[in-house]
């Protein structure tokens, strides 16, 4: 299962202005970029807890200043689910109203619909009772509306992100398409007039979105090395490559941990902090795969906790054994 949320959240953090310039250019033009904008991640998490949506999305809350000097808080909501969510518009309203209720600041809620259903375009929430009507309309963009071929040479980082996202979705129908799509996309990074730093960052995000089997990943690196030799400049060093591969594994581990907790929440509603902490300690991808099955089949939270604790105890013993071996050497 592809982790769409994390790469999108990081991409927005790295390239917030480019995000608005690509998807919402009129809003980007109305912001005073000479004044510092501020991500309000802590405030957003508090709002999400209080709205009790119990969902994980690539959301960002950003404080910006308009050219007229007015402070505005922008809630950017990224819908990255593979299937449309019927409660999307209601959730946008809940976040919007909660932000205004808490901070009494103007709020703009923006939606990026990254699903695969062309006709699904919720941009309005409405509620009415006895002549009392409440309406929220919000701007949306749909990733399916973008012609990926026309984005080939676009230097905006989100052109590449959209291409990678669409390629990752296509892999669900045609797994063999992943390698060719990823290779073509990586090659295009060198032709967009990007800085070396942006090429490395975007490669890392693309690598996160388009995960390939290990044999294909190694083949991809060989192609990249050949390409960089032709250009006479190694953009991605061996150290950066190690970091990218390490980041990919960490992303898979985090995704699996979150999947386990999400399944447990659906089955048992309230998950004790001890179990969350227990799952967070396990970083072996194969063990997490086993626990993912257990999260579906365990008869109770206690049974799941017992199984997870056994793996922790076994890992502790193995680590102690390795330590003793090193001491003897």
Task: Determine the Cα–Cα distance for residues 329 and 122; give it in Å rounded to an integer.
Answer: 64
Q: Are residues 78 and 57 in contact, defined by beta-carbon separation less than 8 angstroms?
A: yes
The token pair that represents 326 in the structure block: 């090193």
Which one-letter DSSP state was computed for residue 110?
E
Tokens of 256: 């699996």
Q: Label the pairing between strands 38-39 and 58-65.
A: antiparallel
Q: Is the pLDDT of residue 248 over 70?
A: no
Check residues 80 and 120 and name the one with the higher pLDDT: 120
Contact 41, 61 (CB under 8 A): yes
- Element containing residue 311 per DSSP (H, E): helix 301-328
User: From CA 106, how far away is CA 323, in angstroms rounded?
Assistant: 57
Higher pLDDT, 234 or 272: 272
pLDDT digits over 158-193, tens only? 999 999 999 888 876 676 778 888 888 888 888 888
Residue 2 corresponds to which tokens in the numbers above? 């592809």
Question: Whole-angstrom Cα distance, residue 287 to residue 3?
Answer: 19
Mean per-residue pLDDT of the chain: 82
Distance CA 268, CA 262 (A): 10
pTM greater than 0.75 (yes/no): no
User: Is pLDDT of 4 > 50?
Assistant: yes
More confident: 14 or 266: 14
Which residues have C-beta within 8 Å of that of residue 4, sequence separation ≥ 6? Answer: 58, 80, 114, 165, 168, 209
Of the listed ranges 5-14, 39-48, 204-213, 320-329, the least confidently predicted one is 320-329
Cα gap 75→69, rounded to integer Å: 19
- Is the pLDDT score of 53 beyond 70? no
Name the phi and psi angles at 40, rounded to 5: -110, 60
pLDDT for residue 54 is more than 50: no
Q: What is the pLDDT of residues 116-125, one digit of tens each?
A: 889 999 999 9
Residue 239: what pLDDT?
Answer: 42
Query: What is the reported pLDDT for 105?
Result: 84
DSSP state of 31: B
- In this predicted model, what pLDDT tens digit does every residue of 270-313 receive, in sequence order? 788 888 888 888 888 788 888 888 888 888 888 888 888 888 77
Confidence band for 106, pLDDT divided at 50, 70 and 90: confident
Which 3 state secondary structure label does DSSP give 129? strand
What are the pLDDT digits (tens) for 133-154? 999 999 999 999 999 989 988 9
With a cut of 50, say whether residue 325 has pLDDT above it: yes
């Amino acid at each position: 299962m592809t982790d769409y949320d994390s790469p999108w959240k990081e991409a927005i953090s790295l390239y917030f202005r480019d995000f608005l310039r690509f998807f919402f250019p009129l809003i980007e033009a109305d912001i005073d970029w000479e004044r510092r904008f501020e991500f309000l991640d802590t405030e957003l998490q508090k709002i999400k807890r209080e709205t009790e949506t119990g969902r994980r999305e690539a959301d960002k809350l950003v404080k910006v200043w308009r050219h007229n000097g007015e402070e505005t808080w922008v809630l950017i909501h990224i819908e990255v689910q593979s299937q449309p969510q019927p409660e999307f518009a209601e959730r946008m309203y809940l976040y919007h109203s909660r932000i205004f209720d808490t901070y009494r600041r103007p709020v703009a809620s923006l939606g990026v619909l990254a699903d695969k259903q062309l006709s699904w375009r919720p941009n309005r929430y409405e509620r009415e009772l006895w002549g009392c009507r409440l309406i929220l309309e919000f701007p949306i963009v749909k990733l399916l509306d973008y012609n990926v071929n026309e984005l080939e040479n676009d230097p905006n980082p989100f052109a590449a992100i959209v291409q990678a996202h669409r390629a990752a979705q296509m892999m669900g129908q045609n797994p063999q398409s992943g390698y060719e799509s990823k290779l073509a996309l990586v090659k295009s990074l060198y032709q967009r007039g990007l800085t070396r730093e942006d090429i490395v960052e975007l490669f890392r995000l693309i690598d996160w979105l388009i995960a390939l089997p290990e044999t294909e990943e190694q083949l991809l690196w060989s192609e990249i090395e050949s390409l960089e030799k032709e250009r006479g400049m190694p953009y991605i060093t061996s150290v950066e490559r190690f970091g990218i591969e390490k980041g990919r594994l960490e992303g898979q581990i985090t995704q699996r941990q979150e999947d386990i907790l999400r399944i447990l929440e659906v089955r048992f509603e309230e998950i004790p902090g001890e179990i969350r902490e227990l799952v967070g300690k396990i970083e072996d991808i194969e063990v997490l795969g086993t626990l993912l099955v257990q999260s579906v089949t365990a008869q109770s939270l206690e049974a799941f906790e017992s199984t997870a604790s056994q793996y922790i105890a076994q890992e502790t013993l193995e680590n102690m054994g390795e330590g003793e071996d090193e001491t003897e050497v």
